[in-house]
Chains A and B, each alone.
Chain A
Amino acid sequence: MSEHILSSKVYWIIWITLMCLTMVTAAVAFVDLGPFNTVVALVIATFKALLVVLFFMHVKYASEKMTKMVIVSALFWLFLLLFLSLADYGTRYASHP
């Protein structure tokens, strides 16, 4: 069994998508969406990161299942760090100390 070699067309399509999303997210920053500016920017960033991980880093085609488990575990620990800490700091004081 040999390695999965992607067509270079895939990489170019991902590249164009990433470039367009970068321009879109920069343009949206100048539109007043209230609290949704943050949501839109982070959703676009997460989509970009997902494209890089799945295609540029070959995770979509990884034969080794452990790799996916390591990634999911790492994201879970990051979620614990961010979510639990922000829940604590966000509710501990009525306003900042």
Chain B
Amino acid sequence: MSDSPIAVEEHGPELRHHFASVEQQRDAASLGMWLFLATEIMFFGGLFLAYLVYRMWYYNEFAAGSRSLDITLGTVNTMVLICSSLTVALGVRAAQMGKRMLLVILLVLTLIFGLAFLGIKGVEWYQKYAEHHIPGHSFDASDLAKDYPQLPIDQAHDQIYFSLYFAMTGLHALHMIIGVGIFSFLLFYAWKGRYTPEYHTPVEIGGLYWHFVDIVWIYLFPLLYLIDRKR
């Protein structure tokens, strides 16, 4: 009968024994992350759909709301995020090659860019607060009616624009905050030298998450800031 022991292959501590190889383990982790990102696409997709439908119905209010955003800060923030994606991509490369110090420096740069994005976003939100553009009791869009006389505005519909603005940028900022948390964790273990050319899956899939959050912003930027400037 089969009393012969199951063949046990020798492998390093980086490989969990239910995987055949380091490559298979890495592919499985990356595939799992992509499945999570697929759910995230649908999660943000609902908000994008709501934005597009309401923009179709209440075009004037959405155009006035969009034009009241600070396009300079929006553009700078897009660039900050693209820079952070570069440092993440170079960081993953440093991990692949086992360059510990380079990885640590690039992770620190990523965190700085990420926090800079959140800081600029905070400045923009504060401007909206100062202008009484936060939906609720003290909401007042009469300044928009004055600034854009060519766009007849129903204030209630402008609350919908700013509700969606805060929901979308807020959910995106929440993802950024979670990203900063993930990258602090990566920085800690990178500093301790845990990531090697054989094992750097956390850096790779953390990077996938960061790039995804960047892509969400790549679409939020034109929808919220750009497409209704003219017309």
Interface residues of A (CB under 8 A from B): 1-3, 5-6, 8, 11-12, 14-15, 18-19, 22-23, 25-26, 28-35, 37-38, 41-42, 44-45, 48-49, 52-53, 55-57, 62-64, 66-67, 70-71, 73-75, 77-78, 81-82, 85-86, 89-90, 96-97
- Interface of chain B residues 44 through 83 with chain A (CB within 8 A): 45-46, 48-49, 52-53, 56-58, 71, 74-75, 78-79, 82-83
Also in contact, A5 and B86, with CB within 8 A (given A31-B230, A71-B34): no
Show 8 residue pairs from A and B whose CB-CB distance is below 8 angstroms, ordered by the A residue. A29-B229, A31-B230, A37-B226, A45-B219, A66-B31, A70-B38, A77-B41, A96-B58
Chain A contact residues, majority secondary structure: helix
7 smallest beta-carbon distances between A and B, as pairs = A96-B57, A74-B38, A41-B222, A64-B27, A29-B226, A32-B230, A15-B86
Query: Contact: B30 with A42, CB < 8 Å?
Result: no
Determine which of B23, B45, B88, B230 lies in contact with A56 in the assembled complex, contact meaning CB atoms within 8 Å. B88
Q: Are A86 and B49 in contact (CB under 8 A)?
A: yes
On whether the beta carbons of B93 and A11 are closer than 8 Å, the reply is yes
- Residue in A5, A37, A56, A85 whose CB lies within 8 Å of B49: A85
For A85, the chain B residues whose CB sits under 8 A away are 49, 53
**Given A15-B86, A82-B45; A70-B35 close (CB under 8 Å):** yes
Contacts of A75 in B (CB 8 A): 41
- The answer to whether B53 touches A89, judged by C-beta atoms less than 8 angstroms apart, is yes
Question: Does the CB pair B231–A70 fall under 8 Å?
Answer: no
Q: How far is the CA of A29 from the CA of B1 in the complex (A)?
A: 76
Assess the A81–B46 pair: CB atoms within 8 A.
yes
Please measure, in the bound complex, the distance between the C-alpha atom of A73 and the C-alpha atom of B183, giving whole angstroms. 28
Q: In the complex, A28→B38 CA distance in Å?
A: 31
